[in-house]
Structure 1
Amino acid sequence: MSIELRKHIEEITPVSDDEFDYILSHFRKKKLKKHQFLVQENNEVLNDHYVIKGLLKAYYTNDEGKEHILQFAMENWWVTDYQAHFKKEKATINIDCLEDCEILCLSLENREKLCSELQKIEHFFRIKSNFGYVALQRRILSLLDKDAKGRYEQLMELYPTLLQRVPKTILASYLGVSRETLSRLS
């Protein structure tokens, strides 16, 4: 069903065919259309999501209605409202599709079950979490220390395909600049 997930796992740890079949049996596949919500503010967040195909944006809308984009998620990335998911609270962010998407959904219960039964999967998720912390720190430091040009250059260095996949207004919002400023930078 998902050779992409197996390749993703095996970037960190090898799995046998039987192990992978067992792992995959704990996931549920979901297809979403462009503009459809994967996670919506004030709703429960039952799953973590692995992106097989497509592009999503995770964002927070403040009381004044301003949208703050936290992250994009494309192929081979994981995305959810982690605070809501792990603490079993209502979502504080939205995640919606910028393209048609194919997602694999993993419930917290199934994740915990897999991690307790397969040490290599527990190891996989620990490493993925560590990489997530690194990316988050890099994003925060970029917002704190870089000017618009520096943030744009870092984004293009790390994720060069985003410019072709994300509308300029959304990319500008992610970078914290106006669309006009982004046009001057690109």
Structure 2
Amino acid sequence: MNKNLRRHINQITPLTDEEYTFLSSYFSEEAYKKKDFLIRQGEHVNYCYFIVSGLLKLVYNDENGKEQIISFAMEDWWESDFSAYFTKSKAKMSLQCIEDTRVYTLSLKNYQKLIAEMPKMACFFLEKSNSGHIAAQNRMISLLSLDAQGKYQELLKQYPSLFQRVPKTLLASYLGVSRETLSRLQH
């Protein structure tokens, strides 16, 4: 299994070789092509994903079919429709590849077994969950309090690599502005 996952976990919870070998048995590796869906809105969510390489978008399609980008996920990120994953319900969002992508999948059953059998992983996932909640709240505050220029500057400061990897149309959607407005913001 790729060393990225071990390095990622070790940043929060150091693992021995034996622990990592044990942990690795709970994951499966999958590869997807650009535009493939890992999750489709309305279907059951079987996995959460650790992104080894590539880039994904988590989107919500409203009743008019308009796509709202919730987040982007790149290397060393975890992504899923977590509400559907943990409640065993149908997805409210879709997860789609923007680039060819490799992921490690973790089923809910394996997640639950892993944290029961390896308590330090419960601490790891709690830390990741807390970080995710903080990021989501910061995004909500940004959406509510910043103008288009402020949202653009905040995204550029936090994730500059997105501007080289994500088409302008998707960046504009994420920021809640038109493509034309995004072009003006970039100049």
How far apart are the structure 2 equivalents of 1:185 and 1:132? 27
Counting aligned pairs with the same residue, the percent is 48
Matched, 1:8 2:8: yes
Post-superposition CA distance 1:89-117 (Å, at most 9, x none): 01111110000000000011111111111
For residue 64 of structure 1, report the CA deviation from its aligned partner. 1.0
Matched, 1:85 2:77: no
Map 1:62-141; keep pairs closer than 5 Å: 62-141=62-141
Gaps of 5+ in 2: none
For residue 43 of structure 1, report the CA deviation from its aligned partner. 1.0
Gaps of 5+ in 1: none
For residue 118 of structure 1, report the CA deviation from its aligned partner. 1.1
The match for 2:158 is 158
Q: 1:140 is matched by which residue type in structure 2? A: M
For residue 148 of structure 1, report the CA deviation from its aligned partner. 0.5
Post-superposition CA distance 1:6-42 (Å, at most 9, x none): 0000010100001001101100100000000010011
Alignment: residue pair count: 186
Q: 2:50 is matched by which residue type in structure 1? A: Y
How far apart are the structure 2 equivalents of 1:68 and 1:41? 12
* CA RMSD across the alignment: 0.5
How far apart are the structure 2 equivalents of 1:65 and 1:16? 48
What SS does structure 2 have at the residue aligned with 1:154? Answer: helix
When structure 1 is superposed on structure 2, of 161-170 and 107-116 the one drifting more is 107-116
Q: 2:103 is matched by which residue type in structure 1? A: I
Runs (4+) off by over 4 Å: none
How far apart are the structure 1 equivalents of 2:100 and 2:37? 11
